[in-house]
Structure 1
């Protein structure tokens, strides 16, 4: 019997649970957000590394998710969001800083995801941004506490974007920034990190 080797099957390594894709979460539901701009930029970086990647825009969350009964039974229209998280080999969280922490919608989204399946032993990488000089470090460190509690595997190479309205004022200014270079480096490092995780 002849066995044919198809190299496309082996382009993206999976972990022992068969997970292979990466999911980027734009951690705000604000219109025209810098977080989404960064998330879309990161998406292109992962595509250039020939891995499957999705972006979750929290503006797209179904309104039914915000009803009190959602704590007991998740609405059916929320299932595609769950799938993009629980089937992810790695998660990239883009978190702006709102009032010294991450946006409330990001925490609520996390609260609505299944426990423990959503994050246990899953690689998680962080990007923080803010208009000020501290670049979202408080938002990211708060999220690291949350994901640490949920037994995620936290990637140590964080990226912070200060002066977000200046750095992200245009695509051209962003692409020539040090932050853009660090995001590229983080992308490659995180893929390697997730490939080495043991469930």
Structure 2
């Protein structure tokens, strides 16, 4: 594990091209920049397309592209997960990515902030609950403030979030993860 000067890794929790999750990750990164905190965006769109067969189980350690993403996580102690709701939970690609990382040490005693987004009124509340359960099992410490961005497409245009509460919650949470 690294010290507090290491960048916070913002994980885009989907591999969907041009995703709203990526846009919110960039928005979050801008908040961290304003707080003079370095960050890196890890977009799951950059996972090798065949990673579930080329980097997991008997092929652990054999996929250089997956290994470089794994190494980034090993050097990181703080994360922000931007998680879209897919079918009442979080995306399967995020679960497969987590499952492909070394157990139990990839997330043990590390820290995370969770941001959920959805097109419905729930703001991915259930997805964040499911993900938090996985992180608890893995020994990850998560912030109590889980930001839920419901009906996000109505509140995000041209790199601006129009909902004042959403902006405030993201700024509060960013401050919390920095000092967590």
Question: TM-score, normalised on structure 1?
Answer: 0.83
1:154 to 129, 142, 148: 142
Closer, same or farther: CA 68–89 of 1 in aligned 2, 3 Å: closer
The answer on 1:18 being equivalent to 2:3 is yes
Aligned to 1:112: 100
Equivalent residues of 1:167, 1:177 under 8 A apart: no
The answer on 1:92 being equivalent to 2:80 is yes
Closer, same or farther: CA 81–64 of 1 in aligned 2, 3 Å: same
Q: Name the larger-Rg structure.
A: 1
Over the aligned positions, Cα root-mean-square deviation in angstroms equals: 1.7
1:143 alignment partner, SS class = helix
Could you tell me how far apart the structure 2 residues matched to 1:171 and 1:17 are? 31
2:125 to 130, 137, 141: 137
1:59 to 36, 42, 45: 45
1:40 to 16, 26, 36: 26
Unaligned runs of 5+ in 1: 1-15, 194-199
Q: Greater shift after overlay, 141-150 or 107-116?
A: 107-116
The answer on 1:166 being equivalent to 2:154 is yes
Quote the offset at 1:133 in angstroms: 0.6
Quote the offset at 1:176 in angstroms: 5.4
Could you tell me how far apart the structure 1 residues matched to 2:55 and 2:70 are? 17
Equivalent residues of 1:21, 1:87 under 8 A apart: no
Runs of 4+ in 1 over 6 A off after TM superposition: none
Equivalent residues of 2:2, 2:76 under 8 A apart: no
Equivalent residues of 2:122, 2:150 under 8 A apart: yes
Quote the offset at 1:18 in angstroms: 3.4
Q: Say how many residue pairs are matched.
A: 177
Unaligned runs of 5+ in 2: none
Could you tell me how far apart the structure 1 residues matched to 2:55 and 2:139 are? 27
Quote the offset at 1:177 in angstroms: 3.1
Aligned to 1:122: 110
Equivalent residues of 1:54, 1:84 under 8 A apart: no
Could you tell me how far apart the structure 2 residues matched to 1:98 and 1:64 are? 21
1:88 alignment partner, SS class = coil
Closer, same or farther: CA 69–105 of 1 in aligned 2, 3 Å: closer
Question: TM-score, normalised on structure 2?
Answer: 0.91
